[in-house]
Structures are given as C-alpha cells and as structure tokens.
Structure 1
Amino acid sequence: MKNTIRGAFVAASFAVLAQTAQAEEYRIGTASLGGAFFPMGQGISNLVNKYAGDGIDMVPIVTQGSVQNPRLVAQGEVELGITSANLAADAVAGAGAYDGSPMDLSALGPLHPSVLHMVVTDGSDIQTFADLKGKRVAVGPAGGGTMGFLNNMLPVYGLSLDDITPSFLSYGDGFSQLSDGNVDAALALSGYPAAAVMQAAASGKLRMIGMEADKLEQILSGNPAYSTFDISADVYDMDEDAQVLGVTNMLVVPADMDAGIVESIAAAIYDHLDEFAAENANARQIDKARASALAIDLHPGAAAYFAK
C-alpha cells in the first residue's frame, strides 16, 4: 500500500514538473517603479498569465524605460517591451537614440497615449517653451522618453540642452522639486492623469507651458509619430484646457517571435480590456483601433489577431 501511495505521489510530482517545464517565461520590459509603464506591465502580465494558456508565464521587469526597452527586446534580454511610437520607429530605422543600430522589431499592439506634461507653478513667468531658456528644468530620468521629445523640440526653438539647467530626476522627484521651488519647470512624458503631477497639484496651483502654433506645426511635421492631445482643465485643477504633444505607446516584440505566441498574448490583452481598465486608469485610454496606424509593422501574429 505504501509503495502504491509513494508511486502515485512520484507520478503526480513528475506531472507537475512536466507542466511547469512546458510553461515558458516571457519578460516584459517596463520602466521604474514610480512610472506608468510598470503597473501597465503588471496588468498585461496578469492578463497573459490568466488567459494566454498554460504554456505562457509573463513577468514585468523594471528597466530604464521607453528608450532602453527596444534595445532589451532586440538583445533578447526581454521578450516584450513597452515603448512609444516615435522610439519604436527610430529603433527599427536605426535613428535618433539608436543611430546606426537598426533593430528587427515588430509591433504587438497599441497601449495608452503618453503626453508631454510641461508644467510650471501658476505664478511663473514662463509662458511658452521658448521661456525655458536659462531656467532650471526637471527633465525626467536620463533613460525616459521625455528626453527624446526635448531633443526634437529644442532645435525648433534654436536651443540646445546647454541653454537650460537640466535635472535628471524621476518624475515624482522632479515635480516635488517644482513644488519646493528648486526647479522652475518640470517635464514628464506620461499617461494622464499622472501621479507626480497630481501630487504637485495638491500642493499648489499649476499651469501647462504652451507652444506657438507655428512651432507646434513644425515639430509635428518633422515627427510623424507625434500627435496632439487635449487635456481638460479639471484633470489637474488648472484654469484652462491645454493642448499638448503626445504619442501612442505600444508593445514591441522580436520580428521573429513565434506567431502563435504573439497572437495568444494579443488575445489575452485586447479581448479583456474592460477587465484591464477596471484595474488600471491608463488602460481606459487604450484604443485597439490604433493597431492599424502604428509607427512600425504589426507582427504577423498580431496582424492575425486584429484582422478577426
């Protein structure tokens, strides 16, 4: 009898081990713990683990953010990465931050938009982007997406990074410094409402920095992946609505990733957006119709899913 029980236990143990061995771990590159990308990656991982099948396990990985993630995917350090449309296009072309290093990446699907918050305290004399010259500016972390926008915007205004005093801080720290008066302006490329901006707004009234119409048009024409978004005044309890630059975030994967796996992951995410939105405010802004207008080609597995 003991041998029978022992044999059954051993058989069951091997069955569990075999099932575990069949499950392949997929890592998704996010960003720092304080940003919007990490909880987005957590939510995606939860959906994939719940709905994609027993053969797929996904875990969110802390990274330096949207600039680094395409590199990590291309190098095989992670299997998926969250980045912005402009950076995905640059990565595939080997341009911008990836100059000379084109990457073989494909899109899995769209995520929420990130908008460029350019914020000052309400009493500031800074009215437009041009007024940042000579000012102390919290520009976000060095590996974050804000710097990509700045590098494209500064030349339009005849400026360079040397014309401001940049502080490379997390968004939370940057906006705390703004509230404390240690910087004159704080920037954050983030989904909205952004926790860092909300926290600063609780300490005092804020205002968005504007851009002249001709400069905005020049920036948009030179950067096709950029869009404009309207932020209602009540989002951050400001006096006026604001039109801001932004970009659609997206998931990138290796171009040679198995099409069946990609389709399963896409279905796990986009078939359950209501569940995702109930747990993550930024997920409420995901529009899967944007899959047809991303900055790089959809992976064949993703294309098969969105064609259904």
Structure 2
Amino acid sequence: MKRITLALVALALIMAVAGCGAPKQTFVNIASGGTGGTYYPLAGAMANIWQDAIKGMNASAQTTGASVANVNLLREEKADVIFVQNDIAYYAVNGLEMFKDKAYAEMRGMATLYPETCQLIVLSSSGIKSVADLRGKKIAVGAAGSGVEANARQIMAAANITYADIQPQYLSFNEASSNLKDGNIDAAFITAGHPTAAVQDIAASKGISVVPIGDDLAAKLMSQ
C-alpha cells in the first residue's frame, strides 16, 4: 500500500500550501468496479469531491473487475486507491484463496465505507427457494476469480454444493442481469451494497426474489 500512503501524504501537502501559488498537479487513479455495481458511482463521486476540494488534484475513477482485479492493479502500481471487499483484502494480505502464494502484505486500509450483502437473485417464477435448489441450474457466480465468485463458492460449499453440481457462468453484474432477464441463467450471485444497479435493472422488468441463505448456512459460514 506504499502508493496509497504516498498519495495521502501528497494530498496533505497540497492542502497545506493552498493559496501559496499554483500547486503541482497530483494524479490519483481510483480503481472501482463495473458500472452495474456500487463501487463505480462512489469512486466517481469521491474523485469529484477531491478535485473540488484540493487544488491541483486530478482524480479519476476507473471501471475494473472490482475487488480481486483492484488488488492486482494496486500491486502492479496501475492504481493509487482501490475499492475492495474486506474478505478479499484479508485474503490478499494473508495469501489465501485466490492469493495463495501471492500475499500482498504491504496493502493498507484507508476507511471502511459500508456493508455489502451477498445476494442470490432469481426470477420469482424460477421455483428456486433455497441454496439447495441450485443443483443442476445455470448460476452466475461472478467474474472468474472475483470476490463475488469466492463468496458464491463458499455459500454453495456450506450447502454441500460444488461447481460440479451446477453449471457455473462467470459473468459480471451487468451480464448476469441481462442473462437472468433473458432466461439464459437461473440465478445470480451478487455481492454489493444496497441498492445495486444490476438488481434494480432486473426488477424494473421482471419479478424477482432474493433467495434466503438460512440460519443454518449462515452459522456454518460464520464459523469458518
């Protein structure tokens, strides 16, 4: 997280010299997520606030594959500030899950913004009432290697369901929304803040349901 620390120091210096001549331009790239989630609009708002409040600031929001992709962008010094799920940040720092043998212990947090919800969205007509009903179905599990995909795999594992038991579809939020509306998939996992643009898009034209995880599965997941 060295680049984020340096960016924060640069911001402090710019504010300290405000009014003392033209400040140098400071460029900050904020890695967010797809346009169908909540990261991108928040990153855009953050960039606008920084530019309005800090002389010489040139901040921009970048659409990305979200949490996992953002950690990699930060590691590769292609982003200065990133949005990331806290579980994915934990995996990155400790070298777990998709970051096994690739720990990024230098990463540091700036702030906790809001809670995210793991949502399992289906059409109301699907007949899917529980996680157990996903067997044999076409399920959008998020982009390959994404935070959503990790959450989907963990939730299904708690119900003793593996990818061999379903037809996994590696889709972004917008892709999952379109495919669910068109009947090409049966359900979509979405980890995001509320409200989520992709979910609102589906609900605007179709009746939808949020499948409950259930107390037993929730307890099993939290124990892990």
Instruction: Verify same fold: TM over 0.5.
Output: yes
Out of 82, 99, 106, the position equivalent to 2:108 is 106
Q: CA deviation at 1:141?
A: 2.4
Cross-structure match for 1:90: 91
Residues 52-82 of structure 1 show CA distances to partners (whole Å, capped at 9, x for unaligned) of x325332112222111112221222111100
- The letter of the residue matching 1:132 is L
Q: With a CA cutoff of 8 Å and minimum separation of 6, indicate the structure with the bigger relative contact order.
A: 1
The structure that is strand-richer by fraction is 1
Separation (CA, whole Å) in 2 of partners of 1:207 and 1:119 = 6
Question: Which structure 2 residues correspond to residues 1-308 of structure 1 after superposition, within 5 A?
Answer: 19=22, 22-51=24-53, 53-103=54-104, 104-222=106-224
DSSP 3-state at the match of 2:179: helix
- The letter of the residue matching 1:182 is N
Q: CA deviation at 1:33?
A: 3.0
Separation (CA, whole Å) in 2 of partners of 1:45 and 1:19 = 20
Separation (CA, whole Å) in 2 of partners of 1:19 and 1:96 = 47
CA contact (8 A) 1:66 1:143 kept: no
CA contact (8 A) 2:98 2:145 kept: no
Query: With structure 2 as the length reference, what TM-score do the two structures score?
Result: 0.83
CA contact (8 A) 1:171 1:196 kept: yes
Q: How many aligned residue pairs are there?
A: 203
DSSP 3-state at the match of 1:83: coil
Separation (CA, whole Å) in 1 of partners of 2:185 and 2:27 = 43
Q: CA deviation at 1:116?
A: 1.6
Q: CA deviation at 1:169?
A: 2.1
Separation (CA, whole Å) in 1 of partners of 2:146 and 2:91 = 15
Separation (CA, whole Å) in 2 of partners of 1:47 and 1:135 = 44
CA contact (8 A) 1:65 1:143 kept: no
CA contact (8 A) 1:134 1:164 kept: yes
Gaps of at least 5 residues in structure 2 are 1-20
CA contact (8 A) 1:64 1:143 kept: no
DSSP 3-state at the match of 2:149: helix
- The letter of the residue matching 1:141 is A
Separation (CA, whole Å) in 2 of partners of 1:200 and 1:43 = 25
Gaps of at least 5 residues in structure 1 are 1-17, 223-308
- Percent identity (aligned): 27
Q: CA deviation at 1:143?
A: 4.9
Query: With structure 1 as the length reference, what TM-score do the two structures score?
Result: 0.62
Measured on the aligned residues, the alpha-carbon RMSD in Å equals: 1.8
